[in-house]
Amino acid sequence: MTYEPDYTTLPLNTVEFPLPVLRRREDPIEAMHKIADDIGARPVTSIAEAQTAAYVASRLRRSGLQVWTDPFRTHALSGSGTLMLALLGSAAVGMWGYDRLYALAIAATTCVVAIVLTNTLSRYFRRATSESQNVIATHAPIGPATRRVVLLVPLDTHQPRDPIGSREAQVAATLALLMMMSLEYIAPMPLPVQVRTMLLIVPALYLLLAASAELWVRSQPYSAGAVSYASSIAAMLAAVDDVGRLNHTELWAVGLGGGTTGAGLAHLVKKYPFDANATFFIGLEGIGRGTLSYLIHDVNERTRSADDMLVDVFTEATLGVRAEPRIANFVPLVRPLTQAKRRAISVACLDHNGRVPLQGSSKDTSDAITPAIVEQSARLIANAIRGLDAHSG
């Protein structure tokens, strides 16, 4: 059962964990305002993303961590090219009445281009032309390190949402166009000519609508990203402050450049060959509005993908923190890690549909944030890290 708890009535200091106080704790809401209001929208590879990286690095240094910046090259946009697909698809339909063989060739080309432009394959065919960076901070334990916890949070903000469809839907439309043209060329269906013509026009019409939607999305300004991800960054900074020095767990706090496109995470795991069994990843999705949750898996996965030990640790960490296990209705940040059989889990605040509220929306501003949820999120993360450390002795 999903609920929207009244976090303002919950005590913030009811968890029986040692809480070292090394210096004055900085207010996470101040960090959220600095990122969402002062820096503002943070597209991938933008100056604002770099400013966020510099701010996060300075905060983590003040927390006593060893900090460095790890630059890499990536793409400024997560994907584009629907207009090209729409023009090719329209050309195939327009050519159909004159030369069906040429029309089939254009339809096949459209299908190939659609597949190449998918987010999965595009990185192999496009040159990375812009620079982003990961901010990495580490804190050594008091004793010998037997485990590592890696906190992950994007430094950038989502592009506005495309109201029409995904790359997969566009690939499906081009495949449908090619299939129907092939059937019509080899063995026409026993239907009236007008109906058969309409079946060819529908996929091309969808591509034209998708191209219009993409152009509209590209023209919209990015949101301030208070939920995704200024409050997530603030919760990570507060959790690092609260957790203090660990006994046997090495702590990594990572701000991911290109976090919304997966570029920063891919660069991180490629450059640093973390031990698969002793490294635990905690991804921070949108935080600050909704029901505080730790994600068991997402709707596209049939079974639990979150690490069993991390699920147990987060269940114990809810003492004094109202959070619940949920199934996400989106692809979490740590999906590439769980697919690679890494030990990972995500923390997010979700609405009743299992999504992060306001993600990519112009309403994702600091006014939408409930400060107590950010505090509770930081406490949940710190509790889980200390609980994992207690199991590593």
Q: DSSP of 99-120, one letter per residue?
A: -HHHHHHHHHHHHHHHHHTSHH
pLDDT score for 212: 85
pLDDT level of residue 294 (50, 70, 90 thresholds)? very high
Strands (E), 27-117: 66-74
Q: Residue 386: what are its φ and ψ, rounded to 5°?
A: -65, -35
Residues in contact with 351: Cβ distance below 8 Å, sequence separation at least 6, in sequence order: 290, 291, 357
Scan for tokens 């690490």, then name that residue.
307
Residue with tokens 């923390």: 347
Of all helices (H) and strands (E), which one includes residue 222? none
DSSP-based three-state secondary structure for 233:
helix
Q: How far apart are CA 196 and CA 218, in angstroms?
A: 34
More confident residue, 359 or 8: 359
Per residue in 303-351, pLDDT (tens digit) is 888 999 999 999 999 988 999 999 999 999 999 999 999 999 999 999 9
- Number of other CB atoms surrounding residue 338 within 10 Å: 22
In angstroms, rounded to a whole number, what is the distance separating the alpha carbons of residues 374 and 385?
17
Q: Convert the pLDDT of each residue in 196-231 to its tens digit.
A: 888 889 999 999 988 888 787 777 788 899 999 999
For 229-249, b where at least 16 C-beta lie within 10 A, e where not — what string? bbbbbbbbbbbbbbbbebebb
pLDDT at 293 over 50: yes
Q: What percent of the chain has pLDDT over 90?
A: 64
Contact 291, 2 (CB under 8 A): yes
Closest CA to 378 of 27, 20, 23, 9: 27
pLDDT in the model for residue 303: 82
The pLDDT value recorded for residue 219 is 76
User: Is 182:78 a contact under the CB 8 Å cutoff?
Assistant: no
- pLDDT (0 to 100) of residue 82: 82
Structure tokens at 346: 């995500």
Q: In this model, does residue 11 exceed pLDDT 80?
A: no
Task: Indicate the average pLDDT of the chain.
Answer: 87
Is residue 336 a contact partner of residue 266, using CB atoms and an 8 Å limit? yes
Burial 101-122 (b: 16+ CB within 10 A, else e): eebbebbbbbbebbbebbeeeb
- 17 φ, ψ (degrees, to nearest 5): -125, 145
* Distance, CA of 219 to CA of 330 (rounded, Å): 24
DSSP of 182-193, one letter per residue?
Answer: HHHHHS--SS-H
Q: Evaluate if pTM is beyond 0.95.
A: no
